[in-house]
Amino acid sequence: GYAAIAMDLSGRRPIAPIYGDDGKPVPNQAGRGSTRTRLEHGGPEQGHPEKFDSIGGEYDDDWPYHAAASVIKAHSLLRSFPEVDAERTGVTGISWGGYTTCLVASLDDRFKAAVPVYGCGFLHEGESVQKPSIDKLGERRQEWVDTYDPSSLLKHCHVPILFVNGTNDVHY
């Protein structure tokens, strides 16, 4: 079997389902995302200011720091369960989850495999839609690249990685 923990990179808990009089969940509840409650220790929001503009201050303000730390903490929790083979864990994520997968695989070598799905590094190069946000950082640009771009961290990675990317993705 498998055990999984899903990354919620905006620091919110799932919405509480609404049940009908028959005790069954009411259909089509997915559109209620704005009602999700922030977790007490959910870290910064997931917008561009939190991902890029906060660099140069305390790490507590930086979304990438919290995203990676939360996944590593969740990994430790998952590995602590007796039903889980702690020596056979992997990590995957899509888009910003793929970006976070690259960070986490570079920081936590307990994973046996990592699979980022169209989310990687080198956001400061090429035609990435994130590049203008990084370029606007001015003097803080290189600090962001060195601290939070996976291209700077993957050289330390010992976890086998399967990158699942397209060739023309403007986001990555």
> Which residues of the chain fall below pLDDT 50?
none
**CA 31 remoteness from chain centre:** 22
pLDDT of residue 169: 78
**Per-residue model confidence (pLDDT) at position 32:** 61
Q: What is the pLDDT of residue 65?
A: 92
> For the whole model, what pTM was predicted?
0.86
Per-domain boundaries in the chain: 45-156
